[in-house]
Structure 1
Amino acid sequence: MKALIMGAGAIGSLMGGFLAKAGAEVVLVGRRAHVEAVRSRGLRVEGPLGSFIVKVDAHEKPEEAKGDFDLVLITVKAYDTAEAAKQVKRLVEKQAVPLCLQNGLGVEEEASRVLGTVVFRGVTNNGAMLAQPGTVLHTGVGETLIGGRGVLMEKLVTMLNASGLPARKVDNIAEVVWIKTLVNAGINPLGAITGLRNGELLEVGWLRSLMKAVVEEGASIAKKMGVELGIDPVELTFKVAKDTANNKNSMLQDLERKKRTEVDYINGAIVKAAQQVGMEAPLNEALTKLVKAMEGVRWRN
């Protein structure tokens, strides 16, 4: 398999590293400092599944990559999906199969509108962060779930499992995406607004209650849209917060780095989904507006 990772941040680099470990030919597309470090020293992965270095190609732009690809894995931030899709369209028009492995609702539809073809969707529950250019820390082991039919998706799952990274193919990817989004909707904005780590949110009674209410509000909208969750999303949200107690969620990290967050694709997307079915989502709407306000303050400062 020859795979291009469009968005070699933490998750993109993690996936690229494990795919390369399993024998895939991997090309990373990322920021200059990371690209230069990977070219010079290789990509280093450190974490609970072991530490290793893989030699992979790396570029700042996908058009710099040579040859054709079997897979284009889109791992950029949700708000960069359309632009990323434009940049890889040439590769997809040849033969590459596009797969979005991102947070939030609707990213695959956004990519599909740009690419003019079906875009597969996946979700990963792994935690990762870039420790420095060229080095990705695997901060939490989780399962990667891949939707869509076809030999390539089967091969992707097989290679991830062979590398030691748990993965499986699922038929109900829409439900999986909703569940992941509800968990993120309950944890991420509350951590971002308060500055608390995931586990600390559970220790404050009113925050725990608010988390529950936010997730329940989103779950009611999913149900109205005909999405069968098949699991209690509130209990799962509490479990994830407990299991990742020492983590600062990505939304909080983005605010601390004065970067744009993905709140529009998480809580904001729940608000849009509610509007589509004639419902309201006041809690998710309020959290979206608060986080957006904080983005503005951080940028001004």
Structure 2
Amino acid sequence: MRTLAAARIARPQPQGSADEHRLPGEPFILSDCAHGSFSVRTLVSANILDRYGRRGSCARRDLLINSRHLPDRDAGPMTNAARPARHKGYHAAEVFRVAERRRILIVGAGAIGGLYAAYLAKIADVAVLDTNRAHVDAIRKDGLKLRGRTASATKLAAFASAAEMGKRRFDAAIILVKSQATGAAFESIRPGLEGRPLLVTLQNGMGNEELLMGLTDLEVAHGVSFEAARYDGPGCVHHLVHGEDSWLGPARGKVESIAWLGELMTRSGLPTKVVADPRGAIWGKFIFNSVMN
């Protein structure tokens, strides 16, 4: 996590704080803000930036700023060379969210599970649970290796059993085991889930979301992925094809409550559409797989 420090910044502003202008549930984003002889990056509501300009005007309030951008109090004014670089524009790649990193559990780290774990781990805290001990040991030793369309080796938490994982708090648990193992997989992790994580199924086949809803009162999302991947042995997954956008929607809950996950997947490099009802896409893939197989 980025080291943060508290500071007060006074600038001529419209009335009200960034909090007051922030939409319900809207995360803060990182923006540049000038202060005296140095530049800092401040946590500002995305909404207030849209309303008052992307240069990052901030209401007179306590702000969290990146402490490594603060000059030494006794060092005098910063030189141009020492001043932190400012963004020349605020494109998607240059303005990014700094809310607390999401915590994601991937249950089943085979081909697609391993693919999602490798991508999501770039911007979230990801743990994988897989009963393949050799696979888990390899991930622990050398990281989860991704080959093919993208090459990477990602260090992440890996467990071979729910007992080994213990009790943990996640924002979402994504189930990516074979459909016939869905119930057993959830029952195995249930004792270790603290809080109320979003349960997600992106599995092939039908009825996985109904099965999960019958086992718990947690919010459940279902969807379909068109990525193609192959398990290449312990610790390694091969990304074969970047398919069409994935689809995700609520089976129990509201679109608004799962939108963050679709955005997270998209930002990780796996474009995902969040819709009220993804069953058309799920059925489409089911029929395609049935014909092809």
TM beyond 0.5: yes
The one-character-per-residue Cα deviations of 1:229-276 (angstroms, maximum 9, x if unpaired) are xxxxxxxxxxxxxxxxxxxxxxxxxxxxxxxxxxxxxxxxxxxxxxxx
Kindly, what percent of the aligned residue pairs are identical? Answer: 33
1:98 Cα deviation from its structure 2 partner: 0.6
Supply the distance in 2 between the matched residues of 1:177 and 1:92 (Cα, whole angstroms). Answer: 27
Aligned equivalent of 2:160, options 60, 83, 93:
60
Aligned equivalent of 2:269, options 164, 186, 191:
164
Aligned equivalent of 1:144, options 246, 249, 259:
246
Q: What secondary structure, in the 3-state scheme, does the structure 2 residue paired with 1:132 have?
A: coil
Aligned equivalent of 2:142, options 41, 50, 55:
41
1:93 Cα deviation from its structure 2 partner: 6.2
Question: Any gaps of 5 or more consecutive residues in structure 2?
Answer: 1-101
Q: Which residue identity is paired with 1:54? A: T
Q: What secondary structure, in the 3-state scheme, does the structure 2 residue paired with 1:102 have?
A: coil
Quick check: which one's helix share is greater? Answer: 1
Whether the 8 Å contact between 1:86 and 1:115 is mirrored in structure 2 is no
Supply the distance in 2 between the matched residues of 1:170 and 1:91 (Cα, whole angstroms). Answer: 30
The one-character-per-residue Cα deviations of 1:162-181 (angstroms, maximum 9, x if unpaired) are 22222111222122211111
Q: What secondary structure, in the 3-state scheme, does the structure 1 residue paired with 2:205 have?
A: coil
CA gap 1:67/1:117 in 2 versus in 1, 3 angstroms: closer
Question: Any gaps of 5 or more consecutive residues in structure 1?
Answer: 189-301
Per the alignment, residue 58 of structure 2 pairs with none
1:152 Cα deviation from its structure 2 partner: 5.3
Per the alignment, residue 84 of structure 1 pairs with 185
RCO (CA 8 Å, sep 6+): is it higher in 1 or 2? 1
1:139 Cα deviation from its structure 2 partner: 0.8
CA gap 1:136/1:152 in 2 versus in 1, 3 angstroms: farther
The one-character-per-residue Cα deviations of 1:81-118 (angstroms, maximum 9, x if unpaired) are 11011112234563211111101111111122122444
Larger Rg: 2
Supply the distance in 1 between the matched residues of 2:173 and 2:162 (Cα, whole angstroms). Answer: 10
Q: Normalized against structure 2, the TM-score is what?
A: 0.60
Supply the distance in 1 between the matched residues of 2:158 and 2:236 (Cα, whole angstroms). Answer: 13
Supply the distance in 1 between the matched residues of 2:195 and 2:268 (Cα, whole angstroms). Answer: 28
- Determine if the alignment matches structure 1 residue 115 to structure 2 residue 220: no
Decide which moves more: 151-160 or 80-89. Answer: 151-160
Q: Normalized against structure 1, the TM-score is what?
A: 0.59
- Determine if the alignment matches structure 1 residue 71 to structure 2 residue 176: no
1:61 Cα deviation from its structure 2 partner: 1.4
Whether the 8 Å contact between 1:19 and 1:160 is mirrored in structure 2 is yes
Q: Which residue identity is paired with 2:126? A: V
Per the alignment, residue 202 of structure 1 pairs with none
Per the alignment, residue 129 of structure 2 pairs with 29
Supply the distance in 2 between the matched residues of 1:151 and 1:41 (Cα, whole angstroms). Answer: 37
Alignment RMSD, CA only?
A: 1.6
Aligned equivalent of 1:5, options 106, 109, 122:
106
1:153 Cα deviation from its structure 2 partner: 2.3
Correspondences of 1:1-301 after superposition (within 5 Å): 1-21=102-122, 23-30=123-130, 31-48=132-149, 50-65=150-165, 66-92=167-193, 94-142=195-243, 143-148=245-250, 149-150=254-255, 153-188=258-293
The one-character-per-residue Cα deviations of 1:109-167 (angstroms, maximum 9, x if unpaired) are 11221224442101101111111211100111122211123555222222222222221
Supply the distance in 2 between the matched residues of 1:54 and 1:154 (Cα, whole angstroms). Answer: 25
1:67 Cα deviation from its structure 2 partner: 2.5
Whether the 8 Å contact between 1:39 and 1:58 is mirrored in structure 2 is yes
Q: Which residue identity is paired with 1:182? A: I
Quick check: which one's strand share is greater? Answer: 2
Supply the distance in 2 between the matched residues of 1:14 and 1:152 (Cα, whole angstroms). Answer: 24
